[in-house]
Structure 1
């Protein structure tokens, strides 16, 4: 597999190198492992849709887009309120 050069700030490179070394990995191996462990936006969307489908099948719960937006806003409000404490 060909390598790629990625330009990042030296501080970020040094931090990632330190983390990799602590796990007994080279920076190259650590970044490859990290990339394999993360989901792309499309993969996250697909996984979320599968979870929603499973919830609908299991419980019959199927909120409309408006209900989902309202619930998201309420959750955001409560998280903001909890963070302020």
Structure 2
């Protein structure tokens, strides 16, 4: 596979190189491993849909879009409150 050049700030490159070195890897190897472990937005959506389907089969939980928004809002509120303390 041919290499690609990616332009990032020097500070970011240095930080990533230090992290890679700390794990005994080259920056190239570290970035390749990192890319293999992260999900694309499409993969995340697919995984979330599978999880929702499994949850619905397991216990019948199937919130509506409005219920999901309400739950997200409540979670955001609680997180904001806990980080403010």
Question: Do the structures match in fold with TM over 0.5?
Answer: yes
Instruction: Provide the residue aligned with 2:66 in structure 1.
Output: 66
Separation in 2 of the partners of 1:74 and 1:49? 21
Deviation at 1:70, TM superposition (A): 0.7
* 1:4-37: CA deviation from partner (whole Å, max 9, x where unpaired): 0000111111111111111111110000000000
How many pairs were matched up?
A: 85
Distance (Å, rounded) in 2 between the aligned partners of 1:46 and 1:66: 20
Q: TM-score normalized by structure 2? A: 0.97
TM-score (norm 1): 0.97
Name structure 2 gaps, 5 residues minimum.
none
Q: Which residue is 2:46 aligned to?
A: 46
Tell me which residue corresponds to 1:14.
Answer: 14
User: How big is each residue's C-alpha offset from its partner over 1:57-76, in whole Å with a ceiling of 9 and x where there is no partner?
Assistant: 00001111111111111111
Structure 1 unaligned runs (5+)?
none
